[in-house]
Amino acid sequence: KNQKAVEFYEIISKLLFVPSTPTLLHSGLKRAQLSSCYLTFIDDDLTHIFKCMGDNAQMSKWSGGVANDWTSLRATGALVKSIDIPSQGTIPFMKVANDTTAAINRSGSRRGAVVGYMESWHYDFEEFLDLRRNTGDDRRRTHDMNTAAWIPDLFMKRVQANEHWTLFSTEETPELHELYGKAFEKKYVEYEQLAQAGHIRLFKTIAAKSLWRKHLTRLFETGHPWPTFKDACNVRSPQDHAGVVHSSNLCTEITLNTSREETAVCNLGSINLGQFVENKILNETLLERTVDVAMRMLDNVIDINFYPTKEGQTSNFRHRPVGLGLMGLQDALYKFDVAFSSQQALEISDKLTESVAHAAILASSKLAKERGTYSSYKGSKWDRNILPMDTIELLEKERGLPVTRFGKITKDWSIVRDHIKKYGMRNSNTMAVAPTATISNISGCFPCIEPIYKNLYVKSNFGGDFTVANSYLIEDLKKIGMWNEQVRDQLKYYDGSLQMISGIPKHLKEKYKTSFELDPMWMVAMTASRGK
């Protein structure tokens, strides 16, 4: 035990791996709530709705980020049979969830945070899009709660084909929330036919493109609701045998199945990629060793954790998901002397992610050899010899559309497959790219897999205001004798951008492009290459 503690200390003290904020905040306390994320399923039942509000408060109190799935609730105007009156719908309950979480200060260190998810076929979806607006009836706004849309592929197909889309109330179309892919499409079309024949009471037909345009407009205005994609998350889930993924989490890095009996929980920590690059060479041996130790730490969290709710403990012990993430990709690319917008950056990003994935999955299988498989392993994709990169083909079949491939597979995955076949897996899920907004500050690196925001800016938190300057840029300018007061003042004047400063070499302007100067389609391609 002490030897492992020393190994843990080694990788954290050198900032090779840093556990997530709740783990750092609560380790060693009497109630060590070390998990980052909680995902709940809210049923269409008044008792359960308010039970979940109480759960939200408890999970927020102990510093968890909370996600609520609201799709099961009947819509505004739907009949409540027991008292024979129309329902008030989802919005008033979401307002209560908003105010509940806003009242909680997470461990005295930051405000409570919650996100509400809703599927884009729900009758209340149009009003859901408006929840974060600063205009309209304030009683039907949630200014402190994040929102996210859970979008089936069929909706995007209808947008592309410029066809209509139908909104339903869940109590009349109960199967839709539990289905995905082809099965969802078939049932959805059946319900549309029933609606047209007059057998469904509450529905609304609109142009899919106008709803999508409204969604994008709200996203531009308020940053909400962010779009997340139901079918890809479910088709690619390793736990497709154990239930449906109804939402992602607060920061959208994990996709775990939830139900009335199970609140999904995830334990996070991130590898600091920049620490493994020296003299433009990746230290792959150190990276593999670090991942190995990190996976053991994350697996330990599940057993020693304090769980605010019974449903969270049930789910975490049953599936044992962990999320090993990445941060400092921009640092690694700077150390490789590569511009974020280059083909070389895509190849490096792809290779780094594959190295972490290979090591993480193998590490979980090694833990299974030592400690046994997680209890719902039988029947999982792991058990069926389907690894994450194999699931792109499944998604292609389910969609009936080609999926463009980015990057390539370079490692020998037969080692991992053979080990899993023999010993199984300790964890249902192994990786999750979290935003690392706090732990990247602690590590002194750039957040997660993001490019630099600006080369010079000021950020604020509970500790005050901090000036952030790009040390890599300063070093490069010093090497060519161009770091001086004049350049510094011009960098301030141009709000952290190099592009308008004369005399700066072209390759440095390319290397130090900021996030808003990069082609967003290129960012998507890099994300897709890692997403394998």
Catalytic residues: 249, 251, 253
Residue 237 backbone dihedrals phi, psi, to 5 degrees: -65, 130
Whole-number Å distance between alpha carbons of 432 and 74: 32
Reduced 3-state DSSP string for 347-410: HHHHHHHHHHHHHHHHHHHHHHHHHCCCCCCCCCCCCCCCCHHHHHHHHHHHHCCCCCCCCCCC
Question: Tokens in use for 360?
Answer: 């993480």
- C-beta separation of 219 from 226 below 8 A: yes
What Rg do the C-alpha atoms of the chain give, in angstroms? 24
- C-beta separation of 330 from 340 below 8 A: yes
Burial of 516 (0-12, 13-18, 19+ CB in 10 A): exposed
In DSSP notation, 58-99 reads: HHHHTT-EEEEE-TTSPPTT-EETTTTEE---SHHHHHHHHH
Q: Chain centroid to CA 354: how far?
A: 18
Among candidates 333, 278, 275, 287, which has minimal Cα distance to 450?
A: 333
Question: Tokens in use for 410?
Answer: 């370079």
CA torsion sign, 487 to 488 to 490 to 494?
positive
- C-beta separation of 302 from 34 below 8 A: no
What one-letter code names the amino acid at 88? Q
- C-beta separation of 153 from 399 below 8 A: yes
Beta bridge partners of 111: 105
Whole-number Å distance between alpha carbons of 249 and 237: 15
Question: Tokens in use for 450?
Answer: 């993001």
Within 10 Å of residue 486's Cβ, how many Cβ atoms? 11
